[in-house]
């Protein structure tokens, strides 16, 4: 449930931030969650008149304000038993079981640092110098059987400049086919679990998408989670 809430929070925050009328978007989401200005303002620790000014467009919300606003909506909904979250989740709930961990890095990683943390080996020749700002670890079988191509938007978290770690992988073909047809691509793909060699087609697809493909030699998924999570909070 925690991942579902995080995904919905990002969706709401993104909708407000990217809206041509942020004030109207704030009001829309407040009404969707069925809460008054007074309730949200109290949860945010501000005066109702301040929130009113934002909704009327008299003030422009920054990232921190939007974050507090969304957190307030979710906190109020949580106190009511998550009725709106459950309604908004819809198809997200069907694949949330595939997500093992998903976080943003406090400090971005280089590809070399990431490979070191996952005890990995780069399988193709794609050179990537841009920083990696987060990661998502998914169970490949659960992801492939429950997710559509557009569901990958949710796996991207706050940015597509992230690594997606596919665990429970047999040879790597299916994860790379899924990446191939997805409308948004990760910066790096990491495979964990092949009992035999990685399928050559997976490497070919990674090359065509210009995505570094890494094979993690970590003994257990928990090792990857622990090391990446540790870096995300440093």
Question: What domains sit in the chain, N to C, each tagged with a CATH number?
Answer: 2-89 (1.10.260.40), 97-233 (3.40.1390.20)
Nearest to 97 by CA among 230, 1, 32: 1
Between 68 and 156, the higher pLDDT residue: 68
| Range in 64-68, 136-140, 209-213 with the lowest mean pLDDT | 136-140
Confidence (pTM): 0.63
Report DSSP letters for 27-51, one per residue.
HHHHHHTT--HHHHHHHHTS-HHHH
For the cut 90, the answer to whether the pLDDT of residue 35 exceeds it is yes
Confidence band for 199, pLDDT divided at 50, 70 and 90: very high
For the cut 60, the answer to whether the pLDDT of residue 60 exceeds it is yes
Element of type H or E holding 16: helix 2-18
Once rounded to an integer, what is the mean pLDDT over residues 81-99? 71
Once rounded to an integer, what is the mean pLDDT over residues 120-139? 88
Looking at residue 164, its pLDDT comes to 92
């Amino acid at each position: 449930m925690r991942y579902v809430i995080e995904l919905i929070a990002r969706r709401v925050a993104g909708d407000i931030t990217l809206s041509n009328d942020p004030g109207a978007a704030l009001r829309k989401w407040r009404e969707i969650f069925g809460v008054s200005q007074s309730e949200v303002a109290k949860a945010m620790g501000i005066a109702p008149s301040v929130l009113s000014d934002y909704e009327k467009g008299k003030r422009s919300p920054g990232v921190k304000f939007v974050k507090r606003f969304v957190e307030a909506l979710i906190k109020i909904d949580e106190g009511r038993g998550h009725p709106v979250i459950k309604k908004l989740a819809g198809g997200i709930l069907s694949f949330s079981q595939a997500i093992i961990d998903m976080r943003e890095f406090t400090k971005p990683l280089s590809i070399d640092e990431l490979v070191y943390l996952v005890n990995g080996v780069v399988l193709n020749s794609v050179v990537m110098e841009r920083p990696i700002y987060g990661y998502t670890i998914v169970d490949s079988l659960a992801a492939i059987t429950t997710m559509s191509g557009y569901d990958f938007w949710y796996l991207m978290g706050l940015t597509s400049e992230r690594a997606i770690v596919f665990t429970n992988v047999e040879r790597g073909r299916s994860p790379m086919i899924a990446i191939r047809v997805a409308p948004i691509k990760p910066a790096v793909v990491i495979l964990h679990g092949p009992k035999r060699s990685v399928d050559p087609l997976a490497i070919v697809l990674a090359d065509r998408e210009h995505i570094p493909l890494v094979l993690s030699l970590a003994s257990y998924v928990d090792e990857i989670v622990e090391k990446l999570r540790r870096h995300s909070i440093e």
